[in-house]
Amino acid sequence: MRANEGRWRGAGALLRDPGIGGALLLALLCCLVPVFGVGDNSFQLRFVWFVQVPFDVLFAWFAWRASRVPGVERLVRNYMLTAAVGAVLFLIGDGWQAIRTLIHPAVSELNGGTEQTVFYLAGCGLLIVRMLTHPTPGGTRGERLRFHLDALAVLVCGGVLAWCFSIDPAKGGPAAAVSTVIALSIMLVAAFAAVKLLLSGTAPVTVSAAIPMVAAAACLGLSMFLSPMVDGELNPVLLVLRTLAPALIAIGPRIQERQTRVRPRWHRERPRRPYHVLPYAAVVVTFGVFLVMMPTDIMGAQAWGGVIGVVTITAVVVVRQLLAFLDNFELINRLDVTLLELRGHQTMLHEQATQDGLTKLVNRTAFSEAVAADLTDRRSAAHGLAVLLIDLDDFKAVNDTLGHGVGDGLLITVAERLRGAVRAKDLVSRLGGDEFAVLLRGVGADEAAAMADRILADVIQPARVDGHMLVVKASIGVAPAESGDDVEGLLRNADIAMYAAKDAGKSGVRQYDAGMGARILETVELGNRLRDAIGTDQFRLVYQPIVEMETGAVTGAEALVRWQPPGRDPVSPADFIPTAESTGEIVPLGRWILREACRQLARWRRDHPGAAGLTMSVNVTGRQLQVPGFVDEVAGILAEFGIPADRLVIEITETAVLDDPAVLEALHGLRALGLDLALDDFGTAASSLGLLLTCPMSGLKLDRSFVDRLGLDSRPTAVATAVSQIARALNLGTVAEGVESPEQARILLDLGYRRAQGFLYSRPLPPAAFAQSWQAAQIAA
């Protein structure tokens, strides 16, 4: 029921089309002329020929438009172009004949003159050739044999009709018989071509478009069996048929165009049919002709009984066969539905296997396959390839502070920006987390770097997600493909370049070079050695005194770690501390440093009663502060060694606390224990002043970069002055780092600094040497 309602709605929509509705209305109005006998025979004849012209124009125009629909298949396009050319030939022939009947009123050929016939046959010939050359269905030899037998059955039926109703050798003489045979032969060849087209199962016209075109052919075929004159007047039925035929054939391409614009690939979506009705209809028609042509005057009752029995048995067998086919057709339809569902599941599984569910970009697997295919394709490799690896900087802070929903929204936004920033031939992928990749095709190294800069400029624009305005940062590594590269190597090179961009300050672009790989290997090797060294006696702590500049008294010590691998030169903290932070080994190493520093402070306090006022400063990284339970761990160490909380100073850098709520929470927890917190290297990050309002600090350490040029440049002096004034205003203690000359100490004293550390006072010392230095300083003070 719903299918029928859908068909009626579809037919109504087609009739409302101006081209289709207008053509049918014009045809019906023109049919009124012969129906009501307007004018004499000469007028009606001229009218019929002139009516052909506008319908031929519509036929040509509609067929050309149907061939130009975007996305239409080549088979359909070629067929419609052939129809448009044939329609132009019809137009020339019909127009010639219309003008001829106007100029020469005595002309009374209803079938057209020589010129019209030539153009008509040329147009028909084009269509016939196109239909005859239409590919026959493939399949097995038996399927092809059944196809040709079905077509032959329809052709034989047409021959029987022509022989019995149109060819009469006894009438008109040999010439008339020959012309009739030639005309009917052309019709039969056209009919065979059309039948072959319909039976192929791949006809280049939709069913809705084929109906009016087949109806037009039926009108022309029926008109051949009608007498042109009835009681001295032109046969009105014949004229109506000749008027309707061009209108019907004209609207077929228009229907095709409308339906193709909605579904350009309808040709591939047509359901299969297990049988064709045409051969069985041919059997019925042939038997009907047989009954009509039977000589009734010599047929007895017995003969008629045999004939009726043969016809009845044949009809029963045909109906029975059709019913069996219908049952099979329903079964096949159900199988088709199941197959479509399976294909849908297959498509869904393929998308899940090759597509990122959140951003709808291809995933790592599909991206790797595409890169491998392009590396294998010599032509693609010859034109240049490059892989960009894009990682969002500080993305974890977005998830932690605003929630994963906002984080997902940011990922979707970045994916859309990447799609818009690349070319159609490039490929964008989400590899996982906040990491994206782009495959650039047909680019050299310089062009790939330039495109990476443009992509970065698009990606880092501020993004509004769920009402939050987010600052977007990203680091991009560029890896141009070289001869002999494989997928893993190319991605690894892009990854190395991306981390080089992060190390250079983030939100930048770096292109891979061989030196990067060597440096990464060195870092990896250093990380492996570092992991093996933790827990052994390769590490030791030294302590740099923190002194009162006016008196020289030592008030505290900063614990500094040193690494002496056995059989090797010492490793500088500037080398292994960043590696420890990047690999995560800073957590166990920092735990050991904190415990060892507190153990040493407890030992000094036990051995030297005057050391009760000493403070111990320990550097802690943001990675350590992010570890759950860090505050409880510090409290446990203080309790284990009996150290008052106000004797321990935790030093952190400004970058460790930027935009990280977990770090801020840990700092508040440490301050609640009674520890002092010092902001190390103050003044070197972008948000120093803002941190003074959000972090519970108790002291500032002026970075050595401002101390080095005191007295040599006015700007470092101005910064040092400002820091001192801010500290006094906020009631914060200050320590100046890197003091190496008496002149620097004098200037710092004048600026309001009271404590300092540096080579002017002492280098970092082992525990015993520090104790001696402390005692000497105390005596001197």
Helix (H, G, I), strand (E, B) or coil at 545: strand
Decide: 469 and 462 in contact? Cβ < 8 Å: yes
What is the 8-class DSSP label of residue 382? Answer: H
Question: Residue 118 is encoded by which pair of tokens?
Answer: 């030539």
Q: Which among 637, 712, 640, 648 has a CA at the least distance from the CA of 676?
A: 648
CA dist., res. 38 & res. 162, Å (int) = 33
How far CA 104 is from CA of 101, 111, 235, 395, in Å, comes to 5, 16, 22, 88
Question: Residue 401 is encoded by which pair of tokens?
Answer: 């502070």
CA dist., res. 150 & res. 537, Å (int) = 94
- Helix then strand count (H, E) for the chain reads 30, 17
CA dist., res. 725 & res. 709, Å (int) = 19
- Residue range 544-582, pLDDT digits in tens: 999 999 888 899 999 999 999 998 889 999 888 888 887
What count of other Cβ atoms lies within 10 Å of the Cβ of residue 130?
Answer: 19
- Residue range 689-719, pLDDT digits in tens: 666 777 888 898 888 888 888 877 788 888 8
Of 366-380, 445-459, 547-561, least confident by mean pLDDT is 366-380
pLDDT value at residue 4: 46
pLDDT at 426 over 80: yes
Task: Break the chain down into helix, strand, coil percent, rounded to 5.
Answer: 65, 10, 25
How far CA 720 is from CA of 309, 699, 736, in Å, comes to 121, 14, 9
**pTM given for the model:** 0.48
Which amino acid, one-letter code, is at 243?
A: T
Question: Residue 352 is encoded by which pair of tokens?
Answer: 């899940």
Helix (H, G, I), strand (E, B) or coil at 298: coil
Decide: 449 and 513 in contact? Cβ < 8 Å: no
How much is the average pLDDT of 432-437? 92
pLDDT at 5 over 50: no
Of 264-268, 440-444, 484-488, 741-745, least confident by mean pLDDT is 264-268
pLDDT value at residue 500: 84
CA dist., res. 781 & res. 772, Å (int) = 14
The DSSP line for 677-689 is EEEEEETSSTTHH
Decide: 279 and 157 in contact? Cβ < 8 Å: no
Confidence of residue 71 (pLDDT cuts 50, 70, 90): confident
How much is the average pLDDT of 99-127? 75
pLDDT value at residue 224: 65
Biggest alpha carbon–alpha carbon distance for the chain: 154
How much is the average pLDDT of 440-450? 91
Decide: 273 and 199 in contact? Cβ < 8 Å: no
Could you tell me which residues come within 8 angstroms of residue 310 by beta carbon, excluding any fewer than 6 positions away?
Answer: none
Decide: 243 and 29 in contact? Cβ < 8 Å: no
